[in-house]
Amino acid sequence: MSKLVPPHGGKGLVCCLLEGAERDAELKKAEGLKTIEISNRAKGDLIMMGIGGFSPLDGFMTKADWKGVCDKFLMADGTFWPVPVTLDTDDDAVKEGEEIALKGKDGVVYATMKVTEKYEMTEADKKWECEKVYMGHGEDSVDGKFWEVAMEDHPGVQMVMAQGKYNIAGTVKVLSEGDYAERFPGVYLTPKQIRAEMEKRGWANVAALQLRNPMHRSHEFLAKIAIEVCDGCVIHSLIGNLKPGDIPGDVRIKCIQTLIDNYFVADNVINAGYPLDMRYAGPREGLLHATFRQNYGINNMLIGRDHAGVGDFYGLFEAQDIFDRIPYVKEACPEPGKALLCKPMKIDWTFYCYRCDGMASMRTCPHTKEDRVILSGTKLRKALSDGAEVPDHFGRDEVLVILRDYYENLTEKVEVKMQKAASGQDMK
């Protein structure tokens, strides 16, 4: 009997990936089906459904699911879920009841799907989804400012507003995991694989550190706080697509491994990646991070300052507060067993302090801004991209060597935009 937290939704790991002869037969069948091209986001969603990362989802959401998730964080059957997992199309010819093949932009057929519902998504529907899912309490979301800036500055909103006229729902048979296993050997691990590794190590109480930036000293500190109080920490990096200016997965994974080799006890940490794209959903994305981590057997989600932040749309600790603010996280769902079991591990703003002579947080350090090195991934990328000096104590030398090398070999320079959250100007 596993001591790890059970998968979300009470149905065990729901894996839609076909294998062997079954997969070959379905691929053959797909050749004769109507094909629609899917976004990179949908490709990531499908792979997660394939490997059980999105349990209990076994397909794209119906209108009732979509509406319930946006409005109440609940799918139609009463299961907690924080962000819509929908499939859009502009194809007028797709019919309800029809089987279709879903092909990625890379030409790979990722799945077949039985279309059980096709529903229209008007501009008003999309705007409603954006307001429900992406609007926060930060500077860019309040006082009617959201729509003034969101179309320009919010990649999540841009993504939803650019979607097709319809959403189509239905269960899927997943036919490919993409090239993640080849590109990230030993790091791209399925929920089953991570659970098996943690069971082998005897872990029961586990934390995950979400990463989309290279690890700086604050990330290292967060992971180490978790290791002190849990059996171990999974450093879990997004290896799907990011926005321009972000550092690619292979470079980030190399940085993490170097950091682990030099500064961690290897038995207490796992370096792993998951195949999703960023949704840029701020606090709701924090909840999604916890939801799919539960499927990986993880029962604590590290949530630090500005988790999954986007510009200045969210308050610095909004992704922590949302865990207290919404139902079905703390209390039971209307249906038993369908609430979120992975809990937030909330950590205050962390930094290096010269007077404390070490890493500290707002809860432990009594000094002022002037004594501290304010750490942020955006600030680190900006300094490296501009070829500027990286302040002492920002990152470990072994990691900075890898990052400098990456930036020096970039043929096209990308402007890194500084937002207020990353600048540290809010620190007292």
Residues recognised as catalytic: 212-213
Report CA 325 to chain centroid distance, whole Å: 20
- Segment lying near Zn ion (by CB under 5 A), choices 49-57, 172-180, 361-369, 385-393: 361-369
Choice between 330 and 355, CB closer to Zn ion: 355
Neighbours of 64 (CB within 10 A): 14
User: Among 158, 130, 129, which residue's Cα sits nearest to residue 41?
Assistant: 158
Strands 350-353 and 343-346: unpaired
How far, in Å, CA of 207 to CA of 209, rounded?
7
Non-local (6+) Cβ contacts of 285 within 8 A are 82, 83, 278, 279, 307, 308, 319
Omega into 56 within 30° of 0, i.e. cis? yes
Least distance to Zn ion, CB of residue 332, Å: 41
How far, in Å, CA of 268 to CA of 386, rounded?
36
How far, in Å, CA of 270 to CA of 297, rounded?
13
User: Among 222, 400, 418, 384, which residue's Cα sits nearest to residue 307?
Assistant: 222
Least distance to Zn ion, CB of residue 140, Å: 31
Among 256, 308, 365, 422, binds Zn ion (CB under 5 A): 365
Judging by beta carbons within 10 Å of its beta carbon (0-12, 13-18, 19+), is residue 141 exposed, middle or buried? buried
- Segment lying near Zn ion (by CB under 5 A), choices 94-102, 223-231, 350-358, 379-387: 350-358
Least distance to Zn ion, CB of residue 213, Å: 24
Does 34 interact with Zn ion (rule: CB under 5 A)? no
Choice between 367 and 413, CB closer to Zn ion: 367
Least distance to Zn ion, CB of residue 360, Å: 5
Least distance to Zn ion, CB of residue 354, Å: 7
Place of tokens 């839609």: 16
Provide the token pair at 1.
């009997």
- Segment lying near Zn ion (by CB under 5 A), choices 58-66, 126-134, 299-307, 354-362: 354-362
Least distance to Zn ion, CB of residue 8, Å: 39
Least distance to Zn ion, CB of residue 351, Å: 8
- Segment lying near Zn ion (by CB under 5 A), choices 24-32, 60-68, 195-203, 357-365: 357-365
Binding mask 304-343 for Zn ion (x = CB under 5 A): ----------------------------------------
Provide the token pair at 44.
């990531």
Choice between 12 and 358, CB closer to Zn ion: 358
Size, binding site for Zn ion by CB under 5 A: 5
Least distance to Zn ion, CB of residue 365, Å: 3
Among 3, 95, 105, 355, binds Zn ion (CB under 5 A): 355
Choice between 200 and 363, CB closer to Zn ion: 363
Does 375 interact with Zn ion (rule: CB under 5 A)? no
Among 34, 72, 243, 367, binds Zn ion (CB under 5 A): 367
To 10 degrees, the CA torsion angle through 44, 15, 72, 280? -20
User: Among 194, 264, 265, 261, which residue's Cα sits nearest to residue 234?
Assistant: 194
Choice between 105 and 367, CB closer to Zn ion: 367
Choice between 137 and 224, CB closer to Zn ion: 224
Does 356 interact with Zn ion (rule: CB under 5 A)? yes
Judging by beta carbons within 10 Å of its beta carbon (0-12, 13-18, 19+), is residue 233 exposed, middle or buried? buried
Neighbours of 74 (CB within 10 A): 22
Among 74, 353, 374, 399, binds Zn ion (CB under 5 A): 353
The answer to whether the CB of 100 falls within 8 A of the CB of 33 is: yes
Choice between 216 and 252, CB closer to Zn ion: 216
Choice between 149 and 356, CB closer to Zn ion: 356
3-state secondary structure of 170: strand
Note the residues at the interface with Zn ion (CB under 5 A): 353, 355-356, 365, 367
